[in-house]
Structure 1
């Protein structure tokens, strides 16, 4: 069944390339040509409809593969249950007949008292019935699954015949069936629900046999790859298996899309390809793909170094305008790599895992203007904070030693997300906090992070305009450098201010592009904190904190 599912997947992949070619060479090409009039409009309409039909067929093919693989995993589970029951019965000397009945072993009763014989017979009968019940349940559940999967296969067979006759109107039932089977099987295998703790997920995973874990990784790559509490090496395997499937799906959708939808899909395609390139680079520390998805503006979590075996772990949250696109892969992912490499040079005895965590939707202000600041709110940070906390708890749950040194690292709007995470129930599961290029973090004091003010580190470039954004209420704003009162900026107290507290470390001043740079989005001083060439002092200080050597940072006076 699993092989049949894989065969259908290959068919679906080939069909996806056919759809992509159709969109590239026919549908989209028609819109780019100068051919106009009624004939062109009619052709475009028919090609667009054909593109939609092809995508429906692709979904159907994907669903058939899902059903077949789900059947294979469930049958294998019932087989294992049956084999365990048979093995236990045989080890105890009980004989199992072809019909599933169980007979007790022959034991000499020559020297036994009648009462002891009766007790032994009752015990044997009870044990025999127990083995028979286990065998019967395995066979019954397998037969039930057989009937359900047979129905599902017939559903798709009927759908294929219907579509072949030109009726494409009904497909929800088939897709829902595949989706339900996909999810229900994980539940049947005991996977904790989405609200469960990472510790519960880890305990469930550890109880599975290695062979079953391997099957689940193959068949449920997306679910396993993005679940906190699954060990990093297994998440990496799952996401690497899921990546080409996600890329094929995005490319297929992009082939038939237009307008804003096409622009969004193109960005995600370039982002996934960029991550693929980063993974292909390899090198040390080894990259691990800990999360990947197309929801919202895209999701991606990449670690350089294994967080389960590293003494030091940092999780960097990017900020404004970050999404799954080519720039994310070349800039933000590279930043995580640079932190890992620098940390490795500073502390060769204790390995470091450096993570970039794009597990939420950041604000997207693609057309910068003075009025664009009016729409900036903390909504995205509040929405992302629980997911970030859950991820950090997952790091602790899966760590081999159980006590890694974790640094929460927020850049730009990402520092606000870290601040919001610190206020959640249970607090921020980190040892140190780094805030760089921050427009405010939603709390007034370093001590409000709950890790101790002496474990909060702040870096702000002199020419980084984002760290000087005026407060929303002009009456609260005091320009940085003023001697009067606490500096209030966009999201509260300026973390670089003396009244905020914490440790303040040196960073390069960066290029000053003034107000025109703020309006146009040309902010080099806001982006150089991780750069080995433009921000080596900042990068070294970040790496010192990440490796647990915050006492050695190069300090500066706060504003």
Structure 2
């Protein structure tokens, strides 16, 4: 596909062909209906019997089935032509828009796509000081439009070629073949269910034309954006649409609550002393829940609008920030990534723990992932490599809060671990080129989520695992995490109250505590202490901090944490062998 061919393409002619096939399909359908009434029905009600009648009726029924199959096949041609029009029209519009912008910026586009411009500041045709940047952007858009058309050409050509072959050799008269062809066409319009194998999802997505993919994003952003196996760029586009929808939905629901009811019922209403109004209590419960979600979603929107931390994550952010997941299930879901994990050579994915919220995903937790990104980039540079990093913050589960006992049990980690396992499998499926070096990271209760994720069939799609501030990961040995004990890295501050939390057995009274101390000296709340020698992981150096700050400083918050963040950067960049080590306890 070249610029002139796409620019001059008569896409309206495709709709003319589609209309003709629609007319043919309608007429053919009428013939099939007439055949049913005038031949099949008449013979079935006749009194013609005998062997000849039996053979005739069998052949007539077969012929009727063939006619119905042919009608289906004709209809599929019409559907393919509609998809062809949608795809080529979109690609042509994208090309024309890029060429128009080139003229606006005084850039000249050659037939082969090369772009030149007048560089003389004194010339009336001077393209400006930003010409090179504009030329690069426009050239990328032209290339994308041509690729879009090429993809559509190949996909539609294959579909029409298949149907033409069926028509010429008679295969299309077989009802099973027609059904299979119809099922294949319908599958292009049906989004795979959540939990579908990510490789199957990716194959489905690749089978869509660019125009079909775009329609899926626009019409079903909540499903496309959160489906593992969809490429990161498409998920980002869909989730940004869905984020705005979620904000608007919460605003409408808040408005729909109506005015605030009275807080108290009067003495007359209760025949006693004034009491709390149940209507107000219920109204406030709904309002508070909606406002909390709204604040969280708005925080994430502010991040992408560049309103936080000096514009970090905004439209011109470097690296770009992608929204890989957003939803209102439970406490809310949010997955953000600094850099594109489909293209990066090194990918980190951090699971947060206790007290993590939607608001944090838009605020400080996003910057935690950014510090990991920066540290991994520095490590690559220190090792004389070109940095290629993506750093994900994954809040794909209901993190325990301090208002309950969920942090003491592993229920949320089991559920979150299943979702995290699917997410990393999705990143494996959509990554371009050589598989990325993936580091799964868990902080606090998030380390238990990572531990549970590793226990699924096939293991976790990660090469290294980092556990910091961990109360245990649900297994007794690093070797049970599936990546090899030498690829399990553990950071633990001596003054971390979470990592130092006693095991449940220690809470059973003095006698039980004494027994636990001697019988299970390396026990933590959720299994063996990952920082212990018996666990068998690779312990790296961190700052001990204080009881009040050590648990939050593993990722260099407020410049604290000592060697922790640099060590994590080395692991993420694939240089875990260079960490500053610390002896296990």
TM-score range normalised by the length of the shorter chain = 0.5 to 0.7
- Deviation of 1:462 after TM superposition, in Å, equals 1.6
Q: 2:375 aligns with which of 342, 346, 353?
A: 342
The unaligned stretches of length 5 or more in structure 1 are: 1-78, 88-94, 102-126, 143-184, 367-371, 513-522
1:416 maps onto 2:451 in alignment: no
Partners of 2:573 and 2:255 in 1: CA distance: 46
The unaligned stretches of length 5 or more in structure 2 are: 1-13, 30-65, 82-184, 258-282, 306-310
Q: 1:504 aligns with which of 507, 521, 539?
A: 539
Cα shift readout 1:398-422 (whole Å, capped 9, x = no counterpart): 0001411111100000000111111
1:534 maps onto 2:565 in alignment: no
Partners of 2:352 and 2:425 in 1: CA distance: 19
Flag the 1:96–1:249 CA change in 2: closer, same or farther, 3 A: closer
TM-score (norm 2): 0.61
- Deviation of 1:272 after TM superposition, in Å, equals 1.2
Partners of 1:554 and 1:479 in 2: CA distance: 35
Contact 2:452 2:473 in 1 (8 A): yes
Partners of 1:84 and 1:476 in 2: CA distance: 82
Contact 2:188 2:207 in 1 (8 A): no
Query: 2:573 aligns to what?
Result: 547
Contact 1:85 1:135 in 2 (8 A): no
3-state DSSP class of the match of 1:499? Answer: coil
Q: CA RMSD in A?
A: 3.5
Q: 2:366 aligns with which of 308, 333, 355?
A: 333
User: In the TM superposition, what are the counterparts of 1:279-294 in structure 2 within 5 Å?
Assistant: 279-280=304-305, 281=311, 282=314, 283-294=317-328
Flag the 1:478–1:354 CA change in 2: closer, same or farther, 3 A: farther
User: In the TM superposition, what are the counterparts of 1:43-54 in structure 2 within 5 Å?
Assistant: none
TM-score (norm 1): 0.64
- Deviation of 1:198 after TM superposition, in Å, equals 0.3
- Deviation of 1:342 after TM superposition, in Å, equals 1.8
Aligned residues: 392
Contact 2:188 2:208 in 1 (8 A): no
3-state DSSP class of the match of 1:316? Answer: strand
Flag the 1:375–1:392 CA change in 2: closer, same or farther, 3 A: closer
Segment of structure 1 superposing worse, 225-234 or 344-353: 344-353
Query: 2:334 aligns to what?
Result: 300
User: In the TM superposition, what are the counterparts of 1:112-131 in structure 2 within 5 Å?
Assistant: none
Contact 1:386 1:424 in 2 (8 A): yes
1:377 maps onto 2:409 in alignment: yes
Flag the 1:524–1:329 CA change in 2: closer, same or farther, 3 A: farther
Flag the 1:511–1:208 CA change in 2: closer, same or farther, 3 A: same
1:135 maps onto 2:71 in alignment: no
Cα shift readout 1:294-339 (whole Å, capped 9, x = no counterpart): 1100000000000000001111111112222x23422211111111
Query: 2:135 aligns to what?
Result: none
Query: 2:529 aligns to what?
Result: 494
Partners of 1:97 and 1:553 in 2: CA distance: 69
Q: 2:426 aligns with which of 380, 394, 399?
A: 394
Partners of 1:288 and 1:493 in 2: CA distance: 36
- Deviation of 1:473 after TM superposition, in Å, equals 1.2
Contact 1:314 1:355 in 2 (8 A): yes
Partners of 2:505 and 2:25 in 1: CA distance: 82
Flag the 1:441–1:477 CA change in 2: closer, same or farther, 3 A: farther
1:355 maps onto 2:392 in alignment: yes
Query: 1:111 aligns to what?
Result: none
Query: 1:251 aligns to what?
Result: 251
